[in-house]
Amino acid sequence: MKKVLRIFVISMLIIIIAGIWGYKKYQINNSQQKIAQTEFKNMPVLLEFSSDTCYPCKQMKPIIEEIKKDYEGKAEVRIIDVYENIELAEKYNIRLIPTQIF
pLDDT mean over 22-35: 54
- Please write the tens of the pLDDT for every residue from 45-81: 889 999 999 999 999 999 999 999 998 888 888 999 9
Residue 99 pLDDT > 80: yes
Q: Is residue 54 among the annotated active site residues? A: yes
Q: Name the catalytic one among 47, 48, 57, 85.
A: 57
Cβ–Cβ < 8 Å for 77, 46: yes
Instruction: Please give the angle made by the CA atoms of 10, 12 and 15, to the nearest 5 degrees.
Output: 110
Instruction: Determine the pLDDT at residue 73.
Output: 85
The domain segmentation of the chain, as residue ranges, is: 2-101
CATH 3.40.30.10 fits 2-101, yes or no: yes
3-22 pLDDT, tens per residue?
A: 776 776 676 667 766 666 55
DSSP string, 25-71: HHHHHHHHHHHH--S-TTS-EEEEEE-TT-HHHHHHHHHHHHHHHHT
Residue 33 pLDDT > 80: no
pTM: 0.60
Q: Which of 32, 47, 48, 54 is catalytic?
A: 54
Rounded CA separation 79/77 (Å): 7
